[in-house]
Amino acid sequence: MITVGFGAAVAAGTGLLSLPWATASDEPASLVDALFTATSAVCVTGLATVDTGTHWSPFGQAVILLLIQAGGLGIMTLATMLTLLLSRRLGLRARFLAQAETKSLSLHDVRGLVRRIVLFSLGTEALVAAVLTIRLITGYGLAPADALYSGVFHAISAFNNAGFSLHADGLVRYAGDAWICLTVAAAVIVGGLGFPVVFELARGWRRPGRWSVMTRITVTLTAVLLAAGTAVFTAAEWTNTRTLGAFAPGDRLLAGFFASAMARTAGFNSVDIGALRPESLLATDVLMFIGGGSAGTAGGIKVTTFGVLAFMLWSEIRGRAHVNAGRRRIPATNQRQALAIALLSVGTVIAATFTLLAVTTHTLDAVLFETISAFATVGLSTGITADLPTQAHLLLVVLMFAGRIGPLTLASALALRDRDQRYELPEERTIVG
């Protein structure tokens, strides 16, 4: 059902973006461009084969915004809200579907949870849009209407970790503006934490000892990855005159932090990604692949998956029979799910990278970056997206779609297939390593 829902949204978006009045030239967009843009918007990725600000008309840009909002909230969440509005009743099947999309741990509170998700999302987007609008008016002299339009567009794109921008160079023109960069980064981080984590922090942020394992892993790893990414990116690009080297020291730190936050599946850029050094590209690859929190607008394999794998490794190194996270034991089923998601994701990225290398003439670092960006629904690019052939664009469409719903549906399927086995086979050890 989740797959069908996202697929229907992509199909509807493709149809709307194929209309003549969806483009600035009043000529129908090509089917590949419409499909690619619709998939990128619904899957809150941000990769684009055409410039969003100049190729699409206001109608086309509005369609993109609606698709981003739908993808961010989740098709099943929107369907649940429509059910509530139309019938004021929520059947058991609809509750299960909403629970699968929102990662609710309590089935009886899905109705209230969905309401809180929508209100929180719209409220956060409104606050971010207000800050951006005021800054664009006071700092850049934009007309109120233009500033409001830009503020709303970038606020929705930021909170939903989409990365779509009205500017061809992303947010490069605002690289030294702390008001805009920090506001966008805050929206990205909050949206990427995941709704269950945000709600739990709102209830008990003063009592970290009572946080759930998911909240502890998400908050801790988010802080660690943000700090590590900022340090690595800033150090690697400090003397690169094509990126951070052209800024004042304070602006370099701001741009380094912004790049680290955006690599967590947001897709905005304040420097030229194509001018990054290889070590920065590799660090960004790692951050993109890990992604953000579960049940949020971020992509990747999720920090919870990465955290479980880290705890598994630590327990194995210490010779522990069980995998513990603080004062809680992680079930074996969670461990198998994390391992399956990580390995299948690695295999998907490798296979897609190999295929893209076969059909393009670009280098490995650029192609690998593009592949991970699509699969992790990030949207960052070294600038090769528009130059790729049609078959490569179609492959990226599949990657974006699989990256958005793959980890979710795979984890759900593995959980549903968990069965108690009534027998055990004889044990035999093999040599490992």
In a domain, 190, yes or no: yes
Q: Percent of the chain, pLDDT > 90?
A: 64
Return the HEC string of 5-48: HHHHHHHHHHHHHCCHHHECCCCCCCHHHHHHHHHHHHCCCCCC
In a domain, 191, yes or no: yes
User: What pLDDT digit, counting tens, does each position of 154-163 carry?
Assistant: 999 999 999 9
Return the HEC string of 169-222: CCCHHHCCCHHHHHHHHHHHHHHHHCHHHHHHHHHHCCCHHHCCHHHHHHHHHH
**Of the candidate ranges 10-19, 89-98, 245-254, the one whose mean pLDDT is the lowest:** 89-98
- Please check whether residue 64 is in contact with residue 56, taking contact to mean a CB–CB distance below 8 angstroms: yes
Residue of higher predicted confidence among 403 and 109: 403
Phi and psi torsions of 359, nearest 5°: -110, 0
User: What pLDDT digit, counting tens, does each position of 347-396 carry?
Assistant: 999 999 999 999 999 999 999 999 999 999 999 999 999 999 999 999 99
Phi and psi torsions of 402, nearest 5°: -65, -40
pLDDT score of 248? 94
C-alpha distances (whole Å) from 158 to each of 11, 167, 178, 186, 362 are 24, 14, 15, 9, 29
Work out the end-to-end distance of the chain between its first and last CA atoms, rounded to an integer number of angstroms: 42
**What rounded mean pLDDT belongs to the chain?**
88
User: What pLDDT digit, counting tens, does each position of 83-125 carry?
Assistant: 555 545 556 666 566 556 555 555 556 677 778 888 999 999 9
Q: Which domain holds residue 205?
A: 2-416
User: What pLDDT digit, counting tens, does each position of 37-88 carry?
Assistant: 999 999 999 999 999 999 999 999 999 999 999 988 876 675 555 555 554 5
Q: Is the model's pLDDT at 397 over the cut of 90?
A: yes
pLDDT band (50, 70, 90) for residue 430: confident
In a domain, 421, yes or no: no
Q: Is the model's pLDDT at 220 over the cut of 90?
A: yes
Cβ-proximal residues to 8 (8 Å cutoff; 6+ apart), any chain: 75
Q: Is the model's pLDDT at 418 over the cut of 80?
A: no
pLDDT score of 425? 85
What does DSSP say about strands 328-329 and 324-325: parallel, antiparallel, or unpaired?
antiparallel
Q: How many domains does the chain have?
A: 1
pLDDT band (50, 70, 90) for residue 327: confident
In a domain, 430, yes or no: no
User: What pLDDT digit, counting tens, does each position of 169-189 carry?
Assistant: 999 999 999 999 999 999 999
Q: Is the model's pLDDT at 330 over the cut of 60?
A: yes
249-262 and 178-193 helices cross at what angle (nearest 10)? 20
For tokens 């089935």, what's the residue?
Answer: 107
Please give the average per-residue pLDDT across 220-249, as a whole number. 95
Q: Percent of the chain, pLDDT > 70?
A: 89
pLDDT band (50, 70, 90) for residue 210: confident
Please give the average per-residue pLDDT across 203-207, as a whole number. 83
C-alpha distances (whole Å) from 115 to each of 36, 120, 122 are 31, 8, 11
In a domain, 423, yes or no: no
- Please check whether residue 218 is in contact with residue 191, taking contact to mean a CB–CB distance below 8 angstroms: no
Which stretch, 186-200, 207-221, 237-251, 315-329, has highest mean pLDDT?
A: 237-251
In a domain, 232, yes or no: yes
pLDDT score of 64? 97
In a domain, 427, yes or no: no
In a domain, 429, yes or no: no
